[in-house]
Structure 1
Amino acid sequence: MSEAIKHECGIAFIRLLKPLSYYQKKYGTALYGLNKLYLLMEKQHNRGQDGAGVATIKLDIAPGQRYISRHRSLATNAVADIFEYIQKKFADIQKEQPEKMADAEWLKNNVSFTGEVLLGHLRYGTHGKNSVENCHPFLRQNNWMTRNLVIAGNFNMTNVDELLQQLYDLGQHPKEQADTVTVLEKIGHFLDTENQGLFDQYKREGLDDNVEISKLIANDLDVAKILKKSAKSWDGGYTISGIFGHGDAFVMRDPVGIRPAFYYYNDEIVVAASERPAIQTAFNIHIDDIREVKPGHALIIKKNGKISEEQFSEPQEKKACSFERIYFSRGSDASIYRERKQLGRLLCPQILGAIDSDIKNTVFSYIPNTAEVAFYGLVEGIHKYIKQYQRDQLLNREDKITDEELTEVLAIAPRVEKIAIKDVKLRTFITQDADRSEMVAHVYDTTYGIVKNGVDTLVALDDSIVRGTTLKQSILKILDRLKPKKIVVVSSAPQIRYPDCYGIDMSRMGEFVAFEAAISLLKESGRYQIIADVYQKCKESSKLPKEEVENYVKAIYEPFTDQEISDRIAQIITPKDINAEIQVLYQTLDNLHKACPDHTGDWYFSGNYPTPGGNKVVNRAYVNWMEGKNQRAYM
């Protein structure tokens, strides 16, 4: 993507089902779990580079000993920084008492992070705040082991105000207004309630030994019941992993399946992660052996090792995030790789129309680096077109083809080149806007000497176009130096028209070049009343329950065809003093769903939000834009 957008976040969960000594004997190290956690996190580093965190819990630790360990980091390479911190503990032992490194029981009793339950998190902060306190995992502490709670997740709730009010009504006083706090405290509240209920039950049954009661509580806690009560009023997209202090653990997924979650288990280990290839690589597991957590369900691992997948909320029509397939998830997943190629392949008819099928005088390229796989699909599609063209020329001619003509027909091939090159990251130490813009213009460089001046059309594939600023300030200026007749910028994703409220850093209406284009067209055609009417409806909708709210912002786009908006976008992103003609093409929604049939969540393109809170958020985002408030439309 020419303009990186941020995305929350990635989880990595491991539960060792055997004693640490088992892994020491079989794999030669009691740190097997930590080593695998490191791999899981590094293989998902694309999901968060603003910070990271790790927490572990030791099972069956005697009273008075520390059993929960946690470390979080904001370092540039946060995952490496965390594991260097952890590794130093063992490096000192290796140096001073090397024989202890083979004593799994001693390590568990004497060194932090040698637990059987491990949870890691990678964070992208979508808005502003980026301190260690904002990094997962979050910890809710209590002297009662079964009331301790550690959570980490990939989530965003649209109704934080409502959830906070519920906490106030319970008599709580949350320390800040954030969805992480509401999730932690909501689960924590019902964990406390379940604990107290069981405690009172055992007392009524005549048990007086509180130590024995604590053991019974640990065994009998109903994790699914706790999650069901906690999530009853959540509105958002989420994958949340949690561990109770005594060792029960869970990985839960929202009822619409917006955020991804995969897991695998055998008799040694349970592992869960946000991305399937991370599990495949870290544990050398075949793709068919990895399962997906079902929407509205939680993978539950009891302290005794029992594994189940239980429903905590009624599953809705699945609307898994399509941006995961287009951009966020690593393309090493087999199905994602195929889907991205198909996205490129399906663009061929539009591109051939834009270049008048003039393959000979067209150079095909892409904007590095995430559009590369879609570009492979595009090239395959062009090759297929050429083969069909050659077949038609050779089989459907009435006269005999000459040797010269035959040579020319057989010589047709797409000119595939790497045109745009992502250069070294330039430091923005210059504060003046004009100077900074000049620096931004050089973020990319280009390959000279492969475009015929004033003759060739240059097709540049990007995987999505959000704001268009990098295209305008940098890429198009650089490509124009090659002196092409025309530059066709192609997005393998449809037009991004609406904010996301489930985890992606796209929340302000004014940042979308498609929205800017539609507003520009409305003003140019004298339809100011539509802009005002939408504002009024959005304002009035703030008083309604979220279940009754519609997406009124759709009316902004209704008067225009997709092509009209694309053409206006081309005008907006065309820099001054550029010589080449600029055309912009976007993937269609129909083709997106053909390429990614199992991930139909497309609200940022279509405005069809899968939860009621989404409509409330988009309307609030429009109001913020109209009122000049540069803030996101959700907590």
Structure 2
Amino acid sequence: MCGIVGVVGTAPANQTLYDALLLLQHRGQDAAGIVTQQERKFYMHKARGMVRDVFRTRNMRALPGSSGLGQVRYPTAGSADNEEEAQPFYASAPFGVVLVHNGNLTNAEALRRELYTVDHRHINTGSDSEVLLGVLAHELERASRDTQCGPEEVFAAIAAVHQRLRGSYAVVAHIAGRGMLAFRDPFGIRPLCFGRGPDGAVMAASESVALEGTGHALERDVAPGEALFVTLDGEVHVRQCAAHPVLSPCIFEFVYLARPDSRLDGISVYQARLNLGQTLAKRVISTVPPDAIDSVIPVPESSRPSANELARLLGKPYREGFVKNRYVGRTFIMPGQAVRRRSVRQKLNTIGAEFAGRNVLLVDDSIVRGTTSREIVQMAREAGASKVYMASAAPPVRHPNVYGIDMPSREELIAHGRSLEQIREFIGADALIYQDVDAMKQAVGSLNPRVQRFEASCFDGHYVTGDVREDDLARLQRERVSIAGT
């Protein structure tokens, strides 16, 4: 999971891109990068760290031009420690191309070999995003041979890219002197939308909040398989480039990843989480009698809408029992399990009066590895809670995710191979209630009938791209162990 943004306008782009990345910071905290374009020349700055730390005044002054793109990175392929793998990536030919990518290619290794032996392109990092850039650059070169690189050539290249890539990808790229390109995989797994500013500037970004927070009005989502090409004078060209696109957005975006004030594929993330609270309430009532619960307490931040709606339906007080230190990052997306464990108590502190002598129902957006939930339950007990019940607005996470979320190893998932009672014992709760998979899909899908199915592989084990086999999952596990050991 990463956050990406691109813009074509007439005003300086550096501040706009910086502001958009701040709004997308929740999508990645490992590295940040911006590239701008002026008179066919690219200017780039990228480094490990948060946006506010990576970009100083001197860096911003060195990013001239009225168009550009940026990314906040959360590594799911390659190495979290390699600064060279921070994005954007650059290829000098053809024309000069810079690219940012959100997602994960499931056939990256096969493409890496193909690029070397057939396309004669060198890949210098372990990042699948550089592989994607290599494929895009090669297909742009093929489509543009002996011609200028206009919309027709760009769309022909993207059609060929779709034929070669497998997995999830939302991409924004700039072609030097030509314009901005944005496209999405044929399943639309990772989000991408675009809109316009009052001055006619065109922006594409992972979430609508990046557009609205920078003064751009959301026009619509980029459809699965669709490509958007914006010339440097602001002319927008759009074409469907995939043979059989099927909208299958990642449901974990609505559960946890996206900001609640965003709209993804026509669905309000906030309303989706309210709906998840409604369906979760039914599961709670069937497990814990409401009169055994004194209050409902969310685990900040993503679970708040679900917890609020659940409390309303149970007729119980909604209370803020945890105070979050906003200067500690989201533990789920912090690289490294040891860092996640240490950060839980730095991140949260209890309000003792909300726990002392009470039976509390804690509501979290999901339970992935279980270590955070165990720490939180223990914190509630230390604050004096008589009983601690735990409810998850998402179903059990039982399967690896291969589309850009940090869940590639079965062994890291608390729900894999364990019963509900075993999970409850591990986290130390007096009762544990999970969301139902079908209820989750209905709760979110009811908000947009056009969404016929979701990518929900971490919950149901079904991989929508149809190319993920058991040996692929085993390879991902080996790679993860190898990276963790370096």
**Alpha-carbon distance in 2 for matches of 1:15, 1:130:** 31
Determine whether 1:37 maps to 2:17.
Answer: yes
Q: TM-score, normalised by structure 2?
A: 0.87
Where structure 1 has 5 or more consecutive residues not aligned to the other structure, the ranges are 1-7, 21-29, 62-66, 90-111, 199-216, 384-413, 428-432, 518-564, 575-580
Q: Which amino acid aligns with 2:7?
A: I
**Alpha-carbon distance in 2 for matches of 1:231, 1:150:** 19
Q: Which amino acid aligns with 1:596?
A: V
Relative to structure 1, the CA distance from residue 494 to residue 294 in structure 2 (aligned partners, 3 Å threshold; closer, same or farther) is: same
**Alpha-carbon distance in 1 for matches of 2:141, 2:369:** 46
Whose radius of gyration is greater, 1 or 2? 1
Relative to structure 1, the CA distance from residue 345 to residue 263 in structure 2 (aligned partners, 3 Å threshold; closer, same or farther) is: same
**Alpha-carbon distance in 1 for matches of 2:405, 2:177:** 34
**Alpha-carbon distance in 1 for matches of 2:456, 2:285:** 26
2:3 pairs with one of 7, 10, 26: 10
Relative to structure 1, the CA distance from residue 439 to residue 345 in structure 2 (aligned partners, 3 Å threshold; closer, same or farther) is: closer
Deviations 1:426-455 (A, max 9, x none): 99xxxxx99x989966764322244564xx
**Alpha-carbon distance in 2 for matches of 1:425, 1:623:** 32
Relative to structure 1, the CA distance from residue 611 to residue 632 in structure 2 (aligned partners, 3 Å threshold; closer, same or farther) is: farther
Shift of 1:187: 1.2
Which residue of the partner structure matches residue 347 of structure 1? 280
**Alpha-carbon distance in 2 for matches of 1:79, 1:447:** 30
Give the SS at the match of 1:282: coil
Deviations 1:138-163 (A, max 9, x none): 11114xxx521111111210111221
**Alpha-carbon distance in 2 for matches of 1:438, 1:276:** 33
Determine whether 1:372 maps to 2:276.
Answer: no
Deviations 1:98-134 (A, max 9, x none): xxxxxxxxxxxxxx53323211111112364333311
1:74 pairs with one of 48, 57, 68: 48
Determine whether 1:84 maps to 2:66.
Answer: no
Determine whether 1:182 maps to 2:131.
Answer: yes
Which residue of the partner structure matches residue 85 of structure 2? 134
**Alpha-carbon distance in 1 for matches of 2:181, 2:342:** 50
Instruction: Please give the root-mean-square deviation of Cα atoms over the aligned residues, in Å.
Output: 3.0
Deviations 1:575-620 (A, max 9, x none): xxxxxx6211110012211221047221100001011333346642
Determine whether 1:463 maps to 2:365.
Answer: yes
1:441/1:477 contact within 8 Å kept: no
1:608 pairs with one of 462, 473, 484: 462
Which residue of the partner structure matches residue 230 of structure 1? 161
**Alpha-carbon distance in 2 for matches of 1:160, 1:512:** 24
**Alpha-carbon distance in 2 for matches of 1:604, 1:569:** 17
Give the SS at the match of 1:377: helix
1:569 pairs with one of 419, 423, 426: 423
1:219/1:303 contact within 8 Å kept: no
**Alpha-carbon distance in 2 for matches of 1:425, 1:265:** 32
Give the SS at the match of 1:52: strand
**Alpha-carbon distance in 2 for matches of 1:249, 1:514:** 43
Which residue of the partner structure matches residue 302 of structure 1? 231
Where structure 2 has 5 or more consecutive residues not aligned to the other structure, the ranges are 330-336, 446-450
Which residue of the partner structure matches residue 202 of structure 1? none
2:30/2:80 contact within 8 Å kept: no
Relative to structure 1, the CA distance from residue 477 to residue 253 in structure 2 (aligned partners, 3 Å threshold; closer, same or farther) is: same
Larger helix proportion of the pair: 1
Which residue of the partner structure matches residue 630 of structure 1? 481
Determine whether 1:312 maps to 2:305.
Answer: no
Which residue of the partner structure matches residue 474 of structure 2? 620
Which residue of the partner structure matches residue 52 of structure 1? 32
1:508/1:621 contact within 8 Å kept: no
Relative to structure 1, the CA distance from residue 616 to residue 117 in structure 2 (aligned partners, 3 Å threshold; closer, same or farther) is: farther
Deviations 1:52-99 (A, max 9, x none): 11111224x6xxxxx211111224x33553252344x3xxxxxxxxxx
Q: Which amino acid aligns with 2:21?
A: M
Which residue of the partner structure matches residue 444 of structure 2? 596
Shift of 1:314: 2.1
**Alpha-carbon distance in 2 for matches of 1:373, 1:71:** 37
Q: Which amino acid aligns with 1:133?
A: E
Give the SS at the match of 1:340: helix
1:155 pairs with one of 103, 106, 110: 103
Relative to structure 1, the CA distance from residue 470 to residue 304 in structure 2 (aligned partners, 3 Å threshold; closer, same or farther) is: closer
Deviations 1:310-364 (A, max 9, x none): 12222433210111111111111261111111111211122223332316x5221
Give the SS at the match of 1:610: coil
Shift of 1:308: 1.7
1:147/1:191 contact within 8 Å kept: no
Q: Which amino acid aligns with 2:48?
A: L
How many residue pairs get aligned? The number is: 463
**Alpha-carbon distance in 2 for matches of 1:316, 1:497:** 27
**Alpha-carbon distance in 2 for matches of 1:492, 1:284:** 32
Relative to structure 1, the CA distance from residue 188 to residue 512 in structure 2 (aligned partners, 3 Å threshold; closer, same or farther) is: same
Determine whether 1:272 maps to 2:252.
Answer: no
Give the SS at the match of 2:396: coil
1:160/1:177 contact within 8 Å kept: no
Which residue of the partner structure matches residue 489 of structure 1? 390
1:507/1:632 contact within 8 Å kept: no
| Structure 1 residues 420-569: aligned runs within 5 Å | 420-422=322-324, 444-451=348-355, 453=357, 456-472=358-374, 474-517=375-418, 565-569=419-423
1:38/1:83 contact within 8 Å kept: no
**Alpha-carbon distance in 1 for matches of 2:221, 2:138:** 28
**Alpha-carbon distance in 1 for matches of 2:298, 2:413:** 21
Which residue of the partner structure matches residue 448 of structure 2? none
2:90/2:96 contact within 8 Å kept: yes
Q: TM-score, normalised by structure 1?
A: 0.67
Which residue of the partner structure matches residue 333 of structure 2? none
Which residue of the partner structure matches residue 169 of structure 1? 118
**Alpha-carbon distance in 2 for matches of 1:595, 1:419:** 27
Q: Which amino acid aligns with 1:222?
A: E
**Alpha-carbon distance in 2 for matches of 1:338, 1:356:** 26
Give the SS at the match of 1:54: strand
Relative to structure 1, the CA distance from residue 234 to residue 86 in structure 2 (aligned partners, 3 Å threshold; closer, same or farther) is: same
1:297/1:310 contact within 8 Å kept: yes
Give the SS at the match of 2:399: coil
1:51/1:74 contact within 8 Å kept: yes
**Alpha-carbon distance in 1 for matches of 2:179, 2:327:** 44
Determine whether 1:191 maps to 2:140.
Answer: yes
Q: Which amino acid aligns with 1:381?
A: L
